[in-house]
Amino acid sequence: MRLEPGRLAPDFYLQADDGTWVDLETILSPPVGQQPQEQVPDSSDSALVLYFYPKDDTTGCTAQACEFRDMQADYDAAGVRVIGVSPDPLKSHQKFRDKHDLPFTLLSDPEHEAAEAYGVWVEKSMYGRTYMGIERSTFVIGPDGVLVEALYKVKPKGHAASVLGLAT
């Protein structure tokens, strides 16, 4: 089921590349002791970019992650947080993050619960073989937890720049 902008983003509880467990509410909340307006320059316009990708350290996924990395200063200036999600295990995420110096969190979804909730766990085919996997997709989520954009079947090249424009 494809998600549409205007509805609440599905919650999840996944392990981050630093070993902590996080849910959507925690990610969208300001750090303890800070009021929402202290979190970013203008938190009323801040957003979360949650992007789903098929596999760590593959050509397209690396290109996409590195574009988000290279634009991190622009995302920070806009008060937009980036988080990547794939079914890869924690150790794979840590290796991928360290190898490419990724400054954002990667979440492990080995049981593809979040992927299913966001409608990105789909049947795919390659060389005549069908299998289930992640459809590269990105979601812009407002500070209130409402979907601002739902982008399915995205291409890695140039994606980080176009998403920043949608998130600000």
Mind telling me the catalytic residues? 61
Q: Tokens 């509410």: give the residue.
A: 25
Which residue shows structure tokens 């800070």? 34
CB-based contacts of 129-138 (< 8 A; 24+ apart in sequence): 133/54, 134/52, 134/53, 134/54, 134/55, 134/86, 134/87, 135/52, 136/51, 136/52, 136/53, 136/54, 136/60, 136/61, 136/64, 137/51, 137/52, 138/49, 138/50, 138/51, 138/52, 138/163
